[in-house]
Structure 1
Amino acid sequence: MVASTPNPTYRDVLRRDGSIAWYTAMTLVRTPVATAPLALVFLGHSTESFSAGGVLAAAHAIGEAAGAPVMGRRFDKKPFLGQLRLALAVEAVAFAGIAVLAGHVPFLILALLALTAGGVAAGVPGGMRAQLSGTTPEPLRPAALSLESALNQAVWASGPVLASLLSTQVSPRIALLVMTIASAAPLAFAARIPHTRTGGQGGGAAPASTLTVVRLAWPTVVLATASMFLVGAMDVVLPPRLEETGHPLALTGVVTGAFALASIVAGLAYGRRSWPGTTAAQTLVLLPAMTAALAVSAATGQLWGIFGAFLLGGLFYSPLMIIRNLGLQHRLPQNVWATGFSLLYAAGGLGYGAAALLTAALIQATTPTVTIVICTAVTTLIGVIAGLGERRR
């Protein structure tokens, strides 16, 4: 009788050489991205207006979306350490420049610095994830990516809180300087991050073009867009929905915090074992389940119902992100993983931004309840198309 192989544990992942360095660096890399929107809004308010801060936050987001495919491809074609050091150093200088120059130079310069900070570092998460996957044995990859997903959710949950506290209790400039330090800190131990020469295998054939990567991975890219479309829609519609049902707006943070906490727990649980079905089959189950769960917030005005809807939605969200990353690796050759992961990053940002614009317009034209129904229906449709495309291929 053959003994079954035990499921990989998170201890197995963290005990590998360089794992602690990788996860520490990824936490620091994610922190400026998670804190930038609110920190830039508060900085703009302190020097000009909230609308000026919104423009700075938008410039940073546009830079990320535009820069991710370009900078991610550089991680596939050029030495990893050189690209990492260049991107993080320029990002740190750009954030420091905004903190020091705000209120003393024309606003256009600040917007260009925000655009630069978002664009130059946009390929770093994809490049880092490509190195994690490329240097981790395949049996350990689901656990490694689940731990990364949980870490990402934790940073996104705490980043806005950090930005708010520093900006309101100390100064928005200090928040930007903390982001500068977080960007620059991985430079001190970059060589200890497990890596191959590039994001791929280092040698062999040249990486495929970006258009080829899109053609190969379009179902996974569309899935990333659909997932973040729903998250962006719910972020925008939640405050008016709470107001519509007579609940304090201050509970917005509590509800979104429940979503993030559930995502962390679900991500860790998903990585603990193997699950039945292919990534495509799992997508066709999890995405409709997530949209149905969040749609409950339109069907009930009770606070417990809205809270429960977001809690349940978070349980489905994190496994979807892990499946998305695993599916991409199965679809693409290793020497374009950084490009593929960066395309997912850009697609997610575009989905989030499009949802924010559409939701804002729908709230003005209809009601928060109708807005939730429309956005969840659109997400389900896009996600099913992506899932069927992935399953067919």
Structure 2
Amino acid sequence: MYTRVLKHPHLAVWCVAYVTARLPVAMAPLGLVFYTKSATGSFAWGALVAGAQTTGEALGAPYFGSRFDRRSNASELRLTLLVSIALLSAMTAPAAHAPLVLAGLAALYGAVSSGIPGALRAALVSAVPEDLRAAALGLETVLNQSVWAVGPLIASWLSSAAPVGIILTMAASSLVPVTCARRLPRRAPHRAAGPGDDARRPRRVSFLVRALMLPLGIGVASNFVISVAEVGAPARLTELNVEAGFAGVLLAGFAVGSVLGGFLYGYVKPPVRAAQRCYVLLAALSAALLPAAVPGPTWQLVCAFCAAGLISGPLFTARNHALQNTADERDWGVAFSALYSASSLGYGLAGVATALLLGPLGAGYTLLLALCATMLVAAIAALKGRGSRTTVSAREPDVGRVL
């Protein structure tokens, strides 16, 4: 199945562009903390800068993703990446080492670059036949999780060697897709912007977000529960009298499981719709993490994280597939970017919730509460999603005149 996907023209180039475009994003959370620490001497400021980058992603993804639906993908990708490289380069200037300046640049970088993942995913889906789209999205999940397994390790290694190398590596990696943008699968804009389009475009984006509320809700919920488990892992290990550094092993097990799950999912043809798979997999993900929230030996936590990773790969793929099935093809860029924004929102909510609950409840009960909330969301989403089989364009036949 994957061989058929990769045999499609330009897909090998797409893989290279996707990995190198995603690597800076995977390096950013930990990398910005280390780089800011080297510039300001404070991990607290580092957390603020990393949070600013994630906030920029969440706020900017719908707008910058919609730009790829209205313009040539190749030219928009080059422009976006070159601006991102310029912002990263500005962060290395001594005058930019003031914490608030770094936070501002990080927020701008997160916003500008936020449309790239959705655009590349939309280009992949539009380039392959419909019967290969599930496999294509499985391949994308495998690549994405592989990059997220490697990115933090690169950032950690560079932080001890030369912290500025973190930013330079992020910029250099972003340069690779610029050089091969013309060889990527082409997805032509559906309509050139007209004189009145700018006024109507917010209505279109707002309508899409409302119409895609269920897959976007799954995006928020899945990343919320995963992030609570990740952020709370060191504290949970400390509660169980295990070295906090062992959290790296748990997260590595989760990443490996996710890669394997996403790879195997590409070979499976489940009998139910992608949206229904999302609800089941989200509940299964929460159930898999349950052993990590209750007292037990260390191997229990390892198994819980590995099992959760194995489920998360198919969940991410099914979530992307459900959104692709719901949105009209001309809106895939903004739809996938909205999903990216929802995922960033899930991470942000998890950070706030963990910070507020960790003290009074402890890591175990915080995770348990998050798991129960996610299972409730999965049940509500399953009930709300019954009978919803039409696409966005089918539910509002005249929206074609908006864009």
Task: Output the TM-score relative to the length of structure 1.
Answer: 0.93
Find the counterpart in structure 2 of residue 70 from structure 1. 63
The one-letter amino acid of 2:225's match is L
Find the counterpart in structure 2 of residue 187 from structure 1. 178
Find the counterpart in structure 2 of residue 85 from structure 1. 78
Q: C-alpha displacement at 1:97, in angstroms? A: 1.4
Q: C-alpha displacement at 1:388, in angstroms? A: 2.5
Determine which of 236, 248, 259 is the counterpart of 1:253: 248
Residue-by-residue CA offset, 1:6-49 (whole Å, 9 max, x unaligned): xxx11111111100111110101110111011111111111211
For 1:47-126, what aligned pairs fall within 5 Å after superposition? 47-48=39-40, 49-99=42-92, 101-102=93-94, 106-126=98-118
CA distance in 2, matches of 1:235, 1:376: 13
CA distance in 2, matches of 1:104, 1:114: 11
Q: C-alpha displacement at 1:93, in angstroms? A: 1.0
Find the counterpart in structure 2 of residue 176 from structure 1. 167
Find the counterpart in structure 1 of residue 132 from structure 2. 140
CA distance in 1, matches of 2:258, 2:151: 16
For 1:32-47, what aligned pairs fall within 5 Å after superposition? 32-47=24-39
Q: C-alpha displacement at 1:172, in angstroms? A: 1.1
Unaligned runs of 5+ in 1: 1-8
Going from structure 1 to structure 2, the CA distance change for 1:102 and 1:159 (only over 3 Å counts) comes to farther
Find the counterpart in structure 1 of residue 299 from structure 2. 304
Find the counterpart in structure 2 of residue 265 from structure 1. 260
Instruction: Verify the 8 A CA contact 1:234 1:372 in the aligned structure 2.
Output: yes
Q: Give the match's secondary structure for 2:212.
A: helix
Q: C-alpha displacement at 1:301, in angstroms? A: 2.3
1:243 to 2:241 alignment? no
Instruction: Verify the 8 A CA contact 2:61 2:115 in the aligned structure 1.
Output: yes
The one-letter amino acid of 1:29's match is A
Q: C-alpha displacement at 1:281, in angstroms? A: 2.5
Determine which of 198, 205, 213 is the counterpart of 1:210: 205
RMSD over aligned Cα atoms = 1.7
Residue-by-residue CA offset, 1:79-115 (whole Å, 9 max, x unaligned): 211211111001111111112x146654333222111
Task: Output the TM-score relative to the length of structure 2.
Answer: 0.91
CA distance in 2, matches of 1:231, 1:222: 14
The one-letter amino acid of 1:59's match is A
Find the counterpart in structure 2 of residue 347 from structure 1. 342
CA distance in 1, matches of 2:243, 2:327: 47
Question: Number of paired residues?
Answer: 381
Instruction: Verify the 8 A CA contact 1:44 1:51 in the aligned structure 2.
Output: no
Find the counterpart in structure 1 of residue 288 from structure 2. 293
1:224 to 2:216 alignment? no
Residue-by-residue CA offset, 1:349-389 (whole Å, 9 max, x unaligned): 10111011101211111121211110101111122222332
CA distance in 2, matches of 1:70, 1:386: 26
Instruction: Verify the 8 A CA contact 1:236 1:360 in the aligned structure 2.
Output: no
Q: C-alpha displacement at 1:203, in angstroms? A: 7.8
CA distance in 2, matches of 1:367, 1:47: 33
Q: Which moved more, 1:46-55 or 1:335-344?
A: 46-55
Instruction: Verify the 8 A CA contact 1:147 1:271 in the aligned structure 2.
Output: yes
Determine which of 323, 329, 332 is the counterpart of 1:334: 329
Find the counterpart in structure 1 of residue 154 from structure 2. 162
Going from structure 1 to structure 2, the CA distance change for 1:138 and 1:203 (only over 3 Å counts) comes to farther
